[in-house]
Amino acid sequence: MFGRNKILLTFGIIYLIFASVMYFGLKIRLQKNFTTSKLNEMVSGKSIFRDTTNDLCKYQILGDPKEVGNYVKINIFCNSGKKAVSTLSLSAFSDKTVDGFFKEYARIIGFDVNLIYKNNVSCYLDGKILTEQMKSQIIRPTSTIDCSENTINEK
């Protein structure tokens, strides 16, 4: 019986040494290598394998956020008859302006934000046409943005 206790004691000591080295080693490595800029790059950066698109209606964000009253809804109507309805929580991004919302939406969906600002796309924020001055303003929670592609041959 004494031999068994000796083996368990030896194993316990080795385990405690290993666990301590692992814990403090990882803690020191984290303190040396972690920066908020690297974290933001990982979270907000674009992957080279990401599918980018020129069709605003190709993807949409389904479902409503669980956060009540702190979201923005965007409806995009395309010439092809397709429609993209998405809802984003305002707590998901730091730039709470209309322009910041469009940039984050474009990053998530995977298209260039300049597609929205082209002349053949018109957007309305809560029923009012979106102007350059409105793009720099803070977006109101529970706002609705309606964008539609205009046909080029309209008169």
The pLDDT tens digits of the residues spanning 43-94 come to: 777 777 777 888 888 888 888 778 788 889 999 998 888 899 999 888 878 8
Residue range 11-35, pLDDT digits in tens:
999 999 999 999 999 999 988 888 8
pLDDT at 154 over 80: no
Secondary structure element (H or E) that encloses residue 129, with its range: strand 128-129
| Cβ contact 130:124 at 8 Å | yes
Rounded mean pLDDT, 123-138: 89
Q: Give this prediction's pTM.
A: 0.69
Band (152; pLDDT cuts 50, 70, 90): low
The pLDDT of residue 1: 61
Burial class of 130 by CB neighbour count within 10 A (0 to 12, 13 to 18, 19+): buried
Beta strand 121-125 pairing with 128-129: antiparallel
| Cβ contact 127:147 at 8 Å | no
